[in-house]
Amino acid sequence: MGAAYFYHLTRRPLEATLPMLLEKARAAGWRVAVRGTDAERLARLDTALWTAGPEDGFLPHGLAGGPHDAAQPILLTTAREAANDPACVMSVDGAEVAPQEVGALERVCVLFDGNDGAALERARAQWKALTGAGCAAQYWSEESGRWEKKAER
């Protein structure tokens, strides 16, 4: 059974944090779906990921809708079902994650902008829904300048 990790972004934007988390997920051997709510936003993240990968390489990924979606190690999508059979889903911009997904995946990461009141409220509601359904969850904050675990259920 997996767990949901909530990442409260306060110092660095999503474009800086997402590559770091994707590198860690790939190092664990996981295929990843980055689930968003807006295709244009995912297209911008797609472009950013081509230049934001590790210094000695890049983060292999694709934007959903291509001929090789099933083969992508990282697939950016707005769909609930990702063609690349991910072990990890990274939810951005308030994309919903169901409790059943948390149980079926290795990890779910919910990344949210702590400087956006609406995003903060969506993340709180998601935390409450997932933990209320019995999902294991951790809350991480970068408020101090480094990532620290602030809560666990």
Every domain of the chain and the residues it spans? 3-152
Q: Where are the beta strands (DSSP E) in 15-66?
A: 32-35, 62-63
Q: Answer for the pair 95, 59: CB distance below 8 angstroms, yes or no.
A: no
For the entire predicted model, the pTM comes to 0.94
pLDDT tens column, 13-30: 999 999 999 999 999 999
From the candidate CATH numbers 3.40.50.10110, 3.40.50.10260, 3.40.50.300, 1.10.287.310, the one assigned to the domain spanning 3-152: 3.40.50.10110
The pLDDT of residue 55 is: 62
pLDDT tens column, 43-70: 999 998 987 655 656 789 999 999 999 9
Q: Answer for the pair 4, 60: CB distance below 8 angstroms, yes or no.
A: no
The pLDDT of residue 59 is: 87
**Alpha-carbon torsion, ordered 60, 63, 68, 69, to 10 deg:** 100
